Copies of this chain bind each other. A is one copy, B any other.
Amino acid sequence: MKAIKVGLLGIGTVGSGTFHVLRRNQAEIKGRAGRGIEVTMVCRRDLAQARQIVGDADVVVTADPFEIIRNPEIDIVVETIGGCDLARSLVLEAIAQGKHVVTANKALLAVHGTEIFAAARAKGVMVAFEAAVAGGIPIIKALREGLTANRIEWIAGIINGTTNFILSEMRSKGLDFATVLKEAQRLGYAEADPTFDVEGVDAAHKLTLMSAIAFGVPVQFDKAHVEGISQLQAADIKYAEQLGYRIKLLGLTRRRDTGIELRVHPTLVPMSRLIANVEGAMNAVVVQGDAVGTTLYYGKGAGAEPTASAVIADLVDITRLHTADPDHRVPHLAFQPDAMSDTAILPMAEVLTSYYLRLRVADEAGVLSRITTILAEHDISIDAVLQRESNEGERQTDLIILTHETQEGRMNRALAQMQGLNTVLAPIVRLRKEELA
């Protein structure tokens, strides 16, 4: 059978990884797919760089992406340009030209997914995006196909390697955020402008996609609560450790009777959980299904070849399914369009979680009593209290409180009241805690 012809829009890290792995493993891939998969066109503004990457391979190099998209010889377009505006135009035009699309672009799909998937469906083509979430881990496939028997209850993921690397370093070396960020930038784990990663935006894009697939709702990135790690202090990592917890930047989505939680924030996780032991730039996703129970998927969330592994898995899937009746393909967001749900994403004030609070308080009688009274008045029950003994001569101390599950809005009101006490001497640190059991 004739080889499937692929055009790469962008041949940077992921594009060149895809190009090289496809060539290196062509025998294995053809042996599995039953058909060759060949890159015949690549696009990059700097033609010389593109030529250097493709070497002596028989590949057309162009600076104009539309030349690829409009070439009738091309079966599948791989979009690795990133960003939203140009990528959106290219993907929509590729779909209009009847091309299948593979993309690693989570921002694009988390924001414009509804439009793009509808266009693809209307045209009868596939838009595949395994590489958009957690790099080489086949988590989209697990959620859409492997766990299809389950009512998914929740997903919790370490889905940003940069922040997990920073948190691992902060904990193991006792360093503060700014110091470790600089090290991460030096090592290439963090960008020069790290905002997207450290403020949780990248994780929220990925979480938005997983949530839509798990619960059959449209992608709604604008409804996600997004909180990063730039404000996290070394002291809280240490106190958490003393209480048996690690702090991870988790993407969490959970089905409640009232709606769907969709949130990214630093989270205390019991040390005994496997996911609490995922260190460095690695990713891991825990999925809780009603039949299967807890499952976990772990691997590299970024990098040229891990991401290429996911891109190529999509290429093989499309190679197999492109002649099938579109109704028999796996739906983009797991559920058939007529089976999608309009369950609302819950506002953060209605989210249920437990909390870690650190209060800098005056070291005098009655302080703890006033604070616990406020919590009790708001019906928030306490799980554990850790009071650091104050050093000789010090007149203030740290008071750590772990609470049981409560509603975020309720906690906000209690926090406002506690913050007003004149024995509370600094802004209260509030982190969320999940048992993940």
Binding site for B on A (CB under 8 A): 17, 21-22, 24-25, 28-34, 130, 136-138, 141-142, 144-151, 216, 274, 277-278, 289-300, 303, 305-306, 308-313, 316-317, 320-321, 323-325, 327-331, 334-336, 339
Instruction: Tell whether, in the assembled complex, residue A149 and residue B298 are in contact, meaning their CB atoms are under 8 Å apart.
Output: no
The complex places the Cα of A130 from the Cα of B148 at a distance, in Å, of 13
In the complex, which of the residues A28, A130, A311, A320 has the most CB atoms of chain B within 10 Å of its own CB atom? A28
The complex places the Cα of A303 from the Cα of B165 at a distance, in Å, of 36
- 18 interchain pairs (CB within 8 A)? A21-B291, A25-B149, A25-B150, A28-B150, A31-B336, A32-B334, A32-B335, A33-B148, A136-B291, A141-B146, A142-B146, A145-B316, A145-B317, A147-B313, A293-B303, A297-B297, A320-B329, A321-B324
Instruction: State which of B30, B150, B306 has its C-beta within 8 Å of the C-beta of A292.
Output: B306
Instruction: State which of B141, B292, B306 has its C-beta within 8 Å of the C-beta of A293.
Output: B306
Instruction: Tell whether, in the assembled complex, residue B293 and residue A296 are in contact, meaning their CB atoms are under 8 Å apart.
Output: no
Minimum CB distance partner of A150 in chain B: B309
- Take A145-B313, A292-B299, A292-B305 as given contacts and tell me if A328 and B320 are in contact as well, using a CB distance cutoff of 8 Å: yes
Task: Return chain B residues, CB-CB under 8 Å to A136.
Answer: 289, 291-293, 295
Minimum CB distance partner of A324 in chain B: B324
The complex places the Cα of A216 from the Cα of B303 at a distance, in Å, of 27
The complex places the Cα of A375 from the Cα of B339 at a distance, in Å, of 66
The complex places the Cα of A144 from the Cα of B142 at a distance, in Å, of 12
The complex places the Cα of A311 from the Cα of B149 at a distance, in Å, of 9
Instruction: Tell whether, in the assembled complex, residue A313 and residue B274 are in contact, meaning their CB atoms are under 8 Å apart.
Output: no
Task: Return chain B residues, CB-CB under 8 Å to A30.
Answer: 339
Instruction: State which of B17, B34, B291 has its C-beta within 8 Å of the C-beta of A306.
Output: B291
The complex places the Cα of A249 from the Cα of B290 at a distance, in Å, of 28
The complex places the Cα of A277 from the Cα of B296 at a distance, in Å, of 13
Instruction: State which of B138, B289, B303, B339 has its C-beta within 8 Å of the C-beta of A147.
Output: B138
The complex places the Cα of A114 from the Cα of B317 at a distance, in Å, of 25
Other than the given A28-B151, A136-B293, A274-B277, 17 more pairs (CB < 8 A) read A28-B216, A29-B148, A32-B148, A32-B331, A136-B289, A136-B291, A138-B142, A141-B146, A142-B142, A145-B313, A147-B313, A149-B310, A149-B316, A291-B312, A292-B305, A297-B298, A324-B324
Instruction: Tell whether, in the assembled complex, residue B320 and residue A291 are in contact, meaning their CB atoms are under 8 Å apart.
Output: no
Instruction: Tell whether, in the assembled complex, residue A21 and residue B312 are in contact, meaning their CB atoms are under 8 Å apart.
Output: no
Task: Return chain B residues, CB-CB under 8 Å to A17.
Answer: 291
A56 to chain B minimum Cβ distance, whole angstroms, is: 22
- Take A316-B145, A316-B149, A324-B324 as given contacts and tell me if A25 and B295 are in contact as well, using a CB distance cutoff of 8 Å: no
